[in-house]
Amino acid sequence: RKEVEQDPGPFNVPEGATVAFNCTYSNSASQSFFWYRQDCRKEPKLLMSVYSSGNEDGRFTAQLNRASQYISLLIRDSKLSDSATYLCVVEKGTGRRALTFGSGTRLQVQP
């Protein structure tokens, strides 16, 4: 089993749609969770951290379920500029801030 597993892509959605990405992780000792965004041929950039209480940043909502070891990202009112690969990222549980990245889910928002 992979340490971090994500929905296989690509997701092709029209502008304005709501889209959800899911992710599961295997290490119950992990303490920190993130979503990173990676544009084609660019470096990953932090989109948002994920907290147990859930957190929202504009059109983006992230949720964490520690019991199920499940993380989600919801994007509302999709924009063309949201087209990218979304990487689910989990801290390794060593307390050293080392991260394990999922393989990513590609989103293509179409006009």
Partner 1 sequence: EAGVAQSPRYKIIEKRQSVAFWCNPISGHATLYWYQQILGQGPKLLIQFQNNGVVDDSQLPKDRFSAERLKGVDSTLKIQPAKLEDSAVYLCASSLSDTQYFGPGTRLTVL
Q: Rule CB under 8 A: which residues touch partner 1?
A: 4, 32, 34, 42-46, 49, 87, 89, 91-92, 94, 96-104
Q: Which residues pair with 91 in a beta bridge?
A: 99
- 3 Cα distance to chain centroid: 14
Shortest gap between Cβ of 38 and partner 1 (angstroms)? 9
14 vs 41 by CB, closer to partner 1? 41
Nearest distance, CB of residue 36 and partner 1, angstroms: 9
Nearest distance from C-beta of residue 12 to partner 1, angstroms: 18
The C-alpha angle with vertex 46 and arms to 42 and 101, in degrees rounded to 5, equals: 80
Nearest residue (CB) to partner 1, 45 versus 59: 45
